[in-house]
Amino acid sequence: MGRSMRKGQGFTNLDRSNRMCTRRDFLRTLGAGVIAVSLPGCGVTARRSTQRSGRPNIILIMSDDMGFSDLGCYGGEIRTPNLDGLAAEGLRFTQFYNTARCCPTRASLMTGLYPHQAGIGHMTEDRGFPAYRGDLAGNCVTIAQVLQSAGYRTYMAGKWHVTRYAGKDGPKHNWPLQRGFERFYGTITGAGSFYDPTTLCRDNTYITPANDPEYKPQSYYYTDAISDNTIRYVREHCEQSPGKPFFMYVAYTAAHWPMHAPEADIARNKGKYDGGYENCRRQRFERMKQMGLIRADWNMSPQAGDWDRFEAKDWEARCMEVYAAMVEVMDRGIGRIVDELKMQGTFDNTLILFLQDNGGCAEDMGRGANINQRWVDQFKNPGPMGPDDLQPSIWPPMRTRDGRSVRGGPTVMPGPADTYIAYGRNWANISNTPFREYKHWVHEGGISTPLICHWPAGIRARDRLCHEPGHLVDIMATCVDLAGAQYPSRHADTEIQPMEGVSLAPVFQGRPLRDRAIFWEHEGNRAVRRGKWKLVVKHPGDWELYDIDAARTEMHDLAPRMPEKVEELKPLWESWAARCGVQPWPLKKPSGSS
C-alpha cells in the first residue's frame, strides 16, 4: 500500500520566482555520474555508464485514452507489472491533471503552456482564432528545444498530434525534428490502425513497406514498434553519446480506438470481464480505497450501463478484453525499455515519468448496429494495397493492406486488422472509476491522470503517494529545473511566452509545491481549481461547485448554497480565459473572415 506524503492543501498565487530553486540540491547528491555494474534480481548485467554529467536522463511516457483506474497500481485489474514496479519504487500522484483531450494535452505537455496559448485550444484544424490554429504557435518552445539547448540529446517515438500539417509533401515546421527532436519514429496524426498506421514516419519521411525494410505489415504492431524504436534510441545514444544526457518522449497510442491487439494477448484476458460493469467497477473502487488513492468515505459517481440489459454480452466483454490486452502490451514494452536502461547502466540516473492524455473515452466509433454494412458498401472488392501505398485515413471506410474491408458493429469481434471498434461509454465509466464524465469533459473523469515518477538517484520516496494537485504544464518546468536549462525569453527572433507551470522537484524531496490555481476549457466545458475548491461547467450548463477534498467524485453541487464562493472563483477563470484567448463555444468565425 502506498504511503501518503501529504494531503493536498489550497492553491493560491502562482509564484514564478521559485520554479528553479532545487536543482543544486539534487546534483549535490548525485555526484559526477552513475556506475551500475550489476543489478541483482533484474536478470540483466549492466554496463558501466560513462555519462559525466550528474543531470538525469528524462523519459516521458504518455498513454492514450486510458482512465484513472486502469493500471494495477491505481486499482485496476489489468496486468501492468512493469508500471506497478516503477510505482512501488517511486512516487505516485493522486491528483494530477491533463486537459481532457488528445492534442490539447500534447500541446500543453510539450510547451508548458495551456493549450490555447500553444495554438491548440481545440483540435488540429484552423478555426480562425490565434488560440485555435490547430498548429503549435510560433511564440512557444517545446521541452525538446529547451533541453537540446542545454546539451541534451533528444528523441521521440510515437504519436505527435500537435500540427494540422500532416501531409508528406506539406509544411513540416511543426514536425518533431523541426521542434527540437533529433530522431523521430511515429505518427503525425492522432489515431489509426495499429497494424498499418496512418502518417507513419521515420524522421521527416513517410514509411511504406517499399522504403523501410523494418516495416512488415504482416507482423507489425504499432505499440511494439514504439517500444522497439525507443530501445534502439537508448542503445544508440549510449554507444554514440555516452557523455551526454538524453530526453526521450515516448507517446503510445494504446489504448485509443480502434481496439486492436495480438490474439495471444487478448486470449489471456478471456472471461475476465464476463461479470459485467458493476462488479468490475466495485472491485476497482475497493482496491483504490485500500491503496489510499481515494478517501474511504467517498461515494462513486453513477454507474453507466446495465449489464443485464445488454444483449451482445460476448461482444461487449471482448471489447474490454482487447482494451486490457492493448494496455498489457504497452506495459510489456515499458518493461523492455527499463531492461535496456539497466543494461546500459543508465537506469539509476534516469527520471521516468508516466501519465495519460485524458480520461477514458466514451466515443462510439464502430459500435453502431448498421455501421458495418455502410463501411463495407463503400469498399467492395477494394483489392490489396501496393508496397508504396499509404494508408490514407485514420478511420473507415478503409481497407487492410491485404485488401479486406474494415468492419465494425456488434456482429464483429474486435481485435484483428479488419475491425475498427471502440470499447464504448460503459467501459470508459469503469476506466474512470470513481469519477464523473469522460474524455472531452473537465469533470474529474475527463481530466484525472496517474503520474508515476521513478528516479532512484533523485527521488527519496519509495511507494509513496502525493496528494498535491499538479498539471501537465508542470512537466516543462520540472524538466528545465532538473536539466539546469535556461527557458528562453526569445527564440528564432520571436518573443516566447513564459511557461505556466511549477517544478515538481520539491515533491521528489518530500516538500510541498507552491500554491496556484489551475484552469481548463475544452468545447465550452470549463473549470478552475484553487485549493480544495473546484468550479466546473458541463457545456451548456451552469457553474457547479465542489469541495474536492470532501468529495472528489463531484456528486454534491455546493453552488446553490455557496454563491459567494462561486463569485470568488469565476473571475479567476474569466481572467485566465481572456489572457489565453479562449473563445465562447461553439466557435464562430472571426469577424471579417469569409
DSSP string, 219-248: G--HHHHHHHHHHHHHHHHHHH-TTS-EEE
What is d(CA 250, CA 143) in angstroms, rounded to the nearest whole number? 13
CB atoms < 10 A from the CB of 263, how many? 10
Cell matching residue 522: 475544452
Residue with cell 491522470: 449
Is the bond preceding residue 382 a cis peptide, omega within 30 degrees? Answer: no
Percent of the chain clearing pLDDT 70 (strictly above): 90
Let me know the angle formed at the C-alpha of 158 by 153 and 162, rounded to the nearest 5 degrees.
90
465: domain CATH number is 3.40.720.10
Beta bridge partners of 158: 186, 251
Q: Greater confidence, 252 or 40? A: 252
The whole-number pLDDT of residue 12 equals: 27
Beta pairing class for 494-495 and 490-491: antiparallel
Section 384-396 average pLDDT? 92
The whole-number pLDDT of residue 38 equals: 31
Residue 15 has pLDDT above 90, yes or no: no
Residue 566 has pLDDT above 80, yes or no: yes
**For residue 50, what pLDDT band results from cuts at 50, 70 and 90?**
very low
202 close to 185: Cβ distance less than 8 angstroms: yes
The whole-number pLDDT of residue 461 equals: 78
Cell matching residue 66: 486510458
In a domain, 3, yes or no: no
Section 171-193 average pLDDT? 98
Cell matching residue 324: 486490457
- Nearest partner of 570 among 588, 545, 538, 541, judged by Cα: 545
Write phi, then psi, for 361 (nearest 5 degrees).
Answer: -100, 120
- Pseudo-torsion of CA 517, 555, 97, 341, nearest 10°? 150
Section 66-88 average pLDDT? 99
Mean pLDDT is lowest, of 237-246, 271-280, 378-387, 470-479, for 378-387
Beta bridge partners of 535: 528, 545
The helix (run of H) or strand (run of E) holding residue 355 is: strand 350-356
Q: What is the DSSP letter of 419?
A: B
Residue 103 has pLDDT above 80, yes or no: yes
Cell matching residue 439: 474524455
Angle at which helix 313-344 crosses helix 81-88, to 10 degrees, equals 50
In a domain, 562, yes or no: no
Domain residue limits at 327: 58-265+277-374+406-509
pLDDT digits (tens, 9 = 90+) for 306-347: 999 999 999 999 999 999 999 999 999 999 999 999 999 999
**For residue 86, what pLDDT band results from cuts at 50, 70 and 90?**
very high
Positive or negative CA dihedral for 488, 491, 496, 502? negative
Write phi, then psi, for 97 (nearest 5 degrees).
Answer: -125, 150
The helix (run of H) or strand (run of E) holding residue 62 is: strand 57-63
Residue 468 has pLDDT above 60, yes or no: yes
The whole-number pLDDT of residue 199 equals: 98
In a domain, 35, yes or no: no
Cell matching residue 521: 476549457
- Nearest partner of 477 among 107, 21, 98, 121, judged by Cα: 21
In a domain, 322, yes or no: yes
Beta pairing class for 448-454 and 200-202: unpaired
In a domain, 26, yes or no: no
Section 408-415 average pLDDT? 96
The helix (run of H) or strand (run of E) holding residue 360 is: none
92 close to 464: Cβ distance less than 8 angstroms: yes
Is the bond preceding residue 258 a cis peptide, omega within 30 degrees? Answer: yes
Beta pairing class for 153-159 and 183-187: parallel
Positive or negative CA dihedral for 435, 438, 443, 446? positive
Q: Greater confidence, 174 or 7? A: 174
Mean pLDDT of the chain, nearest integer: 92
What is d(CA 472, CA 250) in angstroms, rounded to the nearest whole number? 15
Write phi, then psi, for 93 (nearest 5 degrees).
Answer: -85, 140
The whole-number pLDDT of residue 28 equals: 47
In a domain, 32, yes or no: no
**Sheet containing 517-522: which strands, arranged edge to edge?**
517-522, 525-530, 533-537, 544-547
210 close to 388: Cβ distance less than 8 angstroms: yes
pLDDT digits (tens, 9 = 90+) for 249-301: 999 999 999 999 999 999 999 999 999 999 999 999 999 999 999 999 999 99
Section 212-240 average pLDDT? 97
What is d(CA 486, CA 181) in angstroms, rounded to the nearest whole number? 17
CB atoms < 10 A from the CB of 421, how many? 28
What is d(CA 496, CA 490) in angstroms, rounded to the nearest whole number? 5
Section 63-91 average pLDDT? 99
- Which residue stretches of 422-496 are H helix? 425-431, 444-447, 473-483
In a domain, 66, yes or no: yes
The active-site residue, picked from 122, 161, 440, 471, is 161
Domain count, the chain: 1
In a domain, 574, yes or no: no
* N-to-C CA span, the chain: 59
161 close to 190: Cβ distance less than 8 angstroms: yes
161 assigned to active site: yes
The helix (run of H) or strand (run of E) holding residue 4 is: strand 3-4
Residue count of the chain? 594
Identity of the residue numbered 315: W
pLDDT digits (tens, 9 = 90+) for 495-536: 999 999 999 999 999 999 988 999 999 999 999 999 999 999
pLDDT digits (tens, 9 = 90+) for 423-467: 999 999 999 999 999 999 999 999 999 999 999 999 987 999 999
